[in-house]
Amino acid sequence: MKTFKDMFDEVLSLSQRKAMGRRMKQLAKKSSTKMRKKMNQMRALTPDKAKQRAQKSVRKTIMQKLVGKGKDLASMSAGQKASLEKKTDKRMKSMGARVQALVKKTSKQMVKKHRDKKKAMMQTKK
């Protein structure tokens, strides 16, 4: 079976992406998945997970800057998104160490946000 990293590295076609979305939508409805998600939210965020989320967040921020504040990324066509991905990769390479600094800063914010969310969940549980 493929791991998440294997699936993340390969580029999916539109039909594969749609099929994966349908499968994930079905899985999200299962009570076991819901319970596992709740349990994972109660766990502390690992440094690797925090870094991964921070990288995604930084990438999304750069994409939004390239597109402009007025445009919504979700409403773009698949072709536009593909060209934007390429532009983002190029921009991130040119930024170099600044991207890593942003990731490190955002990672700390992600950990704090997760901790606060966890604390709020614990208080509502009581």
Q: What are phi and psi of 96, to 5 degrees?
A: 60, -120
pLDDT the model gives residue 26 = 95
Range of the domain at 4: 1-43
> What is the block-wise mean pLDDT of the chain (126 residues), using blocks of 10 residues?
60 86 94 92 89 93 90 87 90 91 94 92 81
Q: 3-class DSSP state for residue 31?
A: helix
pLDDT the model gives residue 1 = 53
Residues 26 and 63 in one domain: no
Residues 75 and 117 in one domain: yes
Residues 100 and 122 in one domain: yes
Residues 67 and 85 in one domain: yes
Q: 3-class DSSP state for residue 76?
A: coil
> How many other CB atoms sit within 10 Å of the CB of residue 111?
19
Residues 57 and 114 in one domain: yes
Residues 89 and 124 in one domain: yes
Taking CA 24 as the corner, what is the angle to CA 36 and CA 41, rounded to the nearest 5 degrees?
25
The two structure tokens encoding residue 26: 């079905």
Residues 64 and 104 in one domain: yes
Residues 63 and 122 in one domain: yes
Residues 62 and 96 in one domain: yes
